Every structure is written in structure tokens, then in C-alpha cells.
Amino acid sequence: MTGKILLTALCASVAMRTIAGTEDSEIQRARETLEASAKAYREVAALRDRLSYTVTAPGAEKETKMEEYVFGPYGSVLVKNALLQAVAVDSQFYLTQSDVPNRYVTTFYDGDFGAVLRQVAGNGSLFEPPPLALHQDKGMDGFLNTLRFNLLAPLKIAGFHEVANGRVEIRFVASNGELRLIIDQKTHFFTAVSFDVKPPGAPDGMMVRVQGAFSPQVLSASEAAINFDPGTRTAVENLTDLVSTRLAAGSTAPDFELETLDGKKVALHDLRGSAVVLDFWATWCVPCWTALKETQALSEWAATERLPVAVFAVNTLEHGSEYNEKLERVQRFWKSQHLTMPSLVDPESKMFSAYQSPGLPSVVVISPSGKIFRLHEGLFPEMSETLKGELRASLQEAKSKGGSKD
């Protein structure tokens, strides 16, 4: 009997060592494959690529997005999506917004595109392409940081295996999700990426799936010429200085009368004399989860400072045809996030349309006189602090005018 026990234990030990050896071998092959990719991206003179991806969140339809980028000669870079475009050329970095034709952000460019992008735009919708980190020779840690796409926790290599058509898959794991990267063994370029993630601020049990495909195309230096012509546009220092033309500052804010999640009616015309903040959001909008944390902090600050400020989240563009179904989903989300500021419900998105459908998330600051003071589309750096400054300016302006309610 003792012999059988020893034999069983010995077999188990050998099996565990075999499994561990296999895992070590897979991770080593994954690292070698990534090093080959790094070399390929580093040595290419110029490249154009497009990452087309779909985002699927619970209770939402698939949302298709795209980010295009070009690596040009002499370290020049262009990255853009539907809203923002970033250009780095020579020693300058430029950021433009599609609905702001008269201004652009510019700052010094030191050669680290991702660092300057985060400085100017924060962790918003425009992200540093992972191939660019390899092209700029940022090392494995720098590359893995970009592969998080501003959503995943720090990644580590977890597996490797060959797939069809001369491609391999490398698997990465994080504390809040898992990512799979497909690489062409002939070119060593990336062909696809997919991941499941619980984003920061997401309710328990809510996972988001992202599936994307790369389309790399090697270019000659002349084909990848990148430049920026400011034309008659005015240079500004910050993303928040790119003022959207959707709602002009100083125009009258569209009135509304909506109910909160607990059925209380709120009308804008009843809030004259107070500055008002509106944060448009939906349960399926991943960046909205981050914005809500910022406006919640803003609401708490205004209450502590005893300022005449009313902060409201505005749920809109919620998927589904039944009002009660949508309301229950929103209420569950609100409770799971422990949010205490009031949220208005815009069930048919009529209020959102009245405010020129600015996108999600968007934040509108309304002055005590009922005028548009500022509109922000998307996430932006130091969001809460920026809004605090705008609210102080709005209140000071109203005070200097004698509390005018025109």
C-alpha cells in the first residue's frame, strides 16, 4: 500500500513539473514572438495601420469604432479617431477636434507619443497604438502598458499557441480580464486583438468584450509624409480649450422637465440662480462610468462648500423599448455604484437631442442665468478640478452682474 502511495505521489509530482515546464516553454515562445514583432515594428521605416474594433457591453448593441495611425520618417506620428486627431512632427505635438474648426492644442514633443498624448488628452477615447510603442522602442513593459487600452489592469503573459494560416495567439491575463493577441508569423505584425474586461468603475459582474482587427500596410517615406498646417486656427494649451460649436457659450440652455430615478420632477427654469451641471450618460457607455465618478465628487464638493450648484446625471440613449425595463436597469446600476447625486431620466432622448446630441459622455455647465457656460465632450484630464474652476467662474460672473436672471 505504501508503495502505491509513493508511486502515486511520484507520478503527481512528475505531472506537475511537466505542466510547469510546458507553461514556461509557452511563455518563452510568447516572449520570443513578441521580440520578433518589436524588431519588425522598430525597423519598418513607415507604416499605416487601422484598428477596427467592436465594443459589446451588457444591455447594449455592438458599437463599432476605429483608430487609424501612421508612423512616418524622422519620428513623425499621426493617430486619429472620429473625434480627435493627434499629430507629432519635429518637436511639436498637435491635437484637433473634429467639431472645433477654429482651434488646436499644441505642446512640445519629446519623442514619446503616448506620454504627451496622456498629458494633453488624458485617458480618453484616443489611445497610444501598441505597435507604436514597439516602433519607438519602449521595451516590453512600455508595450504591455499600451496593450491595456486604458481599461485592463497590468498584464502578464499567460499562454501561447499556434492558430491557422501561419498565425500565433499570445494570451495575457490581468486582475480584471484577459486579452488575446494574434500575430502573423511571416511579417511579425499584429492581425487581431480581443479582450474581456471589467473596466474601472464597472458594476460587479459587468464585463465588456472588445474584438478588433489590424490592417498594417508598409509605406515608403514619401507615402507617409506627415505634417500639420494650422491655417487660420488659434493655438491653445489644453483640450478643454477646444470649445465645441454644438452649444455656443452664452446661448440660452434648452429648458427641460424630467423625473429623477425616484420620481421627483426637476425643471431647469426652477433652478435659476444656481449653476447647473448636466452629465449625460448611459449604462452601456464605458467611459461614462469614469465620468460619473468625477461628477459625483463634484456634487459632494459643491455640497460641502455650500455653493448654489446643482449637479445632475442625465440618463439617455438607453437601449430597449420598454420604459420600466430601462428604468429598472438604470436603478440597479445606480445602486451598485453607490452614487448619491440625482440622476434624471431622459427616456426618449428628447433632452439629449435638444442639447445637440453631443455624444456620451458629455458634461454641460449652465450659468445661474440659464445660459450655456461650457460644454465638454468625452473624458478630459483633471475633469473634476476643471469643472470646479468653471463653476467658480460662472458663480463669480453671476455675482458681478448682480445675480442677473436674464
List pLDDT tens digits, range 18-40: 445 557 899 999 999 999 999 99
pLDDT > 80? residue 311 = yes
pLDDT > 90? residue 241 = no
Q: What is the DSSP letter of 14?
A: H
Asked if residues 54 and 67 have their Cβ atoms less than 8 Å apart, the reply is no
List pLDDT tens digits, range 52-74: 999 988 766 677 899 999 999 88
Whole-number pLDDT of residue 243? 77
Q: Averaged over 360-366, what is the pLDDT?
A: 95
404 pLDDT tier (thresholds 50, 70, 90): very low
CA distances from 240 to 210, 277, 373 (A): 28, 16, 13
Gap between the Cα atoms of 322 and 375, Å rounded: 30
Q: Averaged over 301-307, what is the pLDDT?
A: 97
202 pLDDT tier (thresholds 50, 70, 90): confident
Mean pLDDT of the chain: 90
Whole-number pLDDT of residue 403? 47
Closest CA to 147 of 210, 218, 241, 58: 210
7, amino acid identity: L
Q: Alpha carbon 223 to chain centroid distance?
A: 30
CA distances from 70 to 76, 81, 117, 266, 282 (A): 8, 12, 15, 48, 33
Whole-number pLDDT of residue 8? 60
| More reliable by pLDDT, 286 or 169 | 169
List pLDDT tens digits, range 93-112: 999 998 888 999 999 999 99
Structural domains in the chain? 36-236 (2.50.20), 243-400 (3.40.30.10)
Gap between the Cα atoms of 56 and 195, Å rounded: 11
Question: pTM of the full predicted structure?
Answer: 0.81
Q: Averaged over 401-406, what is the pLDDT?
A: 55
Mark out the alpha helices in 99-232 (DSSP H runs): 113-121, 130-135, 139-146
CA distances from 31 to 17, 36, 144, 252 (A): 21, 9, 12, 58
Q: Averaged over 79-102, what is the pLDDT?
A: 93
The Cβ of residue 90 has, within 10 Å, a number of other Cβ atoms equal to 11
Gap between the Cα atoms of 141 and 150, Å rounded: 15
Burial 350-368 (b: 16+ CB within 10 A, else e): ebbeebbebbbbbbbbbbb
Give, in degrees to the nearest 5, the angle at Cα 375 between 310 and 64. 115
